[in-house]
Every structure is written in structure tokens, then in C-alpha cells.
Amino acid sequence: MDHSNYTVDTLISAKSIAARVEELAAEISAAYSDTDKLVVVGLLRGSFVFIADLVRELDLPVEVDFLEASSYGDGMESSREVRILKDLRGEINGRDVLLVEDIVDTGFTLSHVIRLLQSREPRRLETIALLDKPSRREVDIRASWTGFEIPDEFVVGYGIDYAQRNRNLPFIGKVRFTE
């Protein structure tokens, strides 16, 4: 099936995202005010724009690390099987960790990665997801912080792709197929 014919309609503007990122960063800075150095872990690749904006608003000493997990391939449905493609560079044992995800959809990816990181015994592990589609959930899990709850739409932009396209859009848009 060729899905190359689609348009993107704005769902969340760049301005709304920036305002929400600022609010979230203030909450996170307060929640981790007693930490020596927070390890912010971005889940590649969808979180790269969000993490870049978020860490610049954090009023804390921060380290940044990345993890890549696969669940989607290039399709629109989760495969339910999560593989680690790229592991962290640093140790998180005894550290304060914030895991940054782009979207929580079925919840398989987040729950799998949380289990993996918990097994390394961080002092504290919290999660933040820019977007949440609660109506799609199959695993009972929630991020500690959520940017926006959205309906069951396939979205792109602000780091999020459809078949590796549209990550560079400055806003979040929903994909609408034109044929």
C-alpha cells in the first residue's frame, strides 16, 4: 500500500508546545531540586526535538543520554515486541533518571524500557511523554508527566515521524490521507 499521498493538519502549534514545555520544565525542576545531577534519557528517535527543548528549560545540573528501542518499524501499528537497538552510554545505578518519550500509545515501549531501566537500580526513575493517546492503551501505564493528551490520530512533527518523514515540522500535525 502506498501511503505517500497525505497531508498534515496542525493539531498542536509550535507556540502551544513551547508554552507547555516551559510548564513541564518548571515542574520537573521543582521535583528534582535535591538532585546532584539529573540523567535525562531520550528515547530515540522521536524524542530528540522534545528533549532538546526540555533540557534547555531545566533549572538543574543535567546529563543527557540516549536509548533506542524499536517497536514500530516503518508502519503505523506497534509490533508489541520491543528491542533495544542502542543502549545508554552511562551507568544509571543510584542516579536520578528522567526518561523522555515522544508518545505513549499502546504502552508497550514505555513499560518495556521502564522495566529495563529499573533493573539497573536507579535512585529515582520518572518518565515524561510529550503526547499520550489514552484511548489506545493496552498496557496499564502512565508517564509521570504528560504534555498533551490527544485523540487516536496518527501524528507527525516536532521529532515524530511517519516512515521517517516529517520529523522536522516545528508543530504537531495529524496525518490525513488524500487517497
Q: Which positions touch ligand IMP (CB under 6 A)?
A: 46, 71-72, 78, 101-110, 154-155, 160
DSSP 3-state of 72: coil
SS3 assignment, position 98: strand
Active site residue 59: no
Among 46, 107, 159, 173, binds Mg ion (CB under 5 A): 46
Q: How much helix, strand and coil, in percent to the nearest 5, is found in the chain?
A: 25, 35, 40
Residue 161 neighbours by CB under 8 Å, 6+ apart: 45, 46, 167
Torsion of CA 166, 167, 172, 175, to 10 degrees: 30
Could you tell me how many residues of this chain bind Mg ion (CB under 5 A)?
1
159 binds Mg ion (CB under 5 A): no
Continuous segment of H or E residues that includes residue 132: strand 124-132
Give the cell for residue 113.
524500557
Contact of residue 107 among ligand IMP, Mg ion, none (CB under 5-8 Å per partner type): ligand IMP
Which of Mg ion, ligand IMP, none does 111 bind, CB closer than 5 to 8 A by kind?
A: none
Nearer to Mg ion, 46 or 157 (CB): 46
Within 32-176, residue ranges assigned H as helices are: 48-57, 108-118
Query: Catalytic residue among 2, 36, 96, 105, which?
Result: 105
User: For residues 97 and 156, which CB has a smaller minimum distance to ligand IMP in the complex?
Assistant: 156
Cβ proximity to Mg ion, 35 vs 147, nearer residue: 147
Q: Which is nearer to ligand IMP, 13 or 121 (CB)?
A: 13
> Looking at the annotation, which residues are catalytic?
105
